[in-house]
Structure 1
């Protein structure tokens, strides 16, 4: 799910410290990676994804808390439950596809700022971004992106159409 509101705050850090940003991947929170091979994305699969996401309401999210995985700095969304619900819905339909291939157990929702860096570099990146927080966004759709062997490209956007959810906090 792209988070365009984050780009002015985190774009410079991501461009320097996240190799995916340098290939044009915007600030985002991943629902499920890896997903199905692009050759399996037929009309039936796309319709099933649309049905899956249609049952979820749009929601507001706030990013102001940093988190870390080994060598990776991220922003944690609050609340994270709607993100987790989207991941759970997709994995319930395609149980053979585990988040990050099942490598990490809990696939906590996150917006990556920097990866493959030392703690000192992550500390500096955190300090650079801190004053621009919080970032607030409205998540109203989920984008399917595919890798064409060279770059990631947008394939389809699926609107979230469940019962309307108001702001999750007074922001």
Structure 2
């Protein structure tokens, strides 16, 4: 488990913003533009950017749909973590990457809201990292499991609320907009 450090050493974690993952996503272009602005702002402030890519039977590694969207381009040397589970920490080297970067906090965005973003949000908290979720920089697709009214807007609102209200012993999460992130 990560031990919370006193220094302010955030890492910007961009989860699964891949061609096929976000092709039909809710407000795709707005969300990708927000993430691009956040990436630029993080880099300008010297905040490390860590990229996460998902792969499975439908999202095969090295395929065109598996690539990070063309509007976002990892720089040489920026870590890329490949995963097979929703939680970007599960069976990956993300924990080691964050340790090397001396991370004490995660700023989170990406896709899909109710799957990999939520799982990574929870995984980070359970591992002792405070998490800041960017409320207008995560998205999902329109799925209605078992007839539930779980529209993309509802899924996003639920995770934003979770980020605003979750506390664990010794740490808490928060939710901020793109305009509020990396401004201090």
**TM-score, reference length from structure 2:** 0.23
Larger Rg: 1
Q: Could you say which structure has the greater relative contact order, defined with CA pairs below 8 angstroms and 6 or more residues apart? A: 1
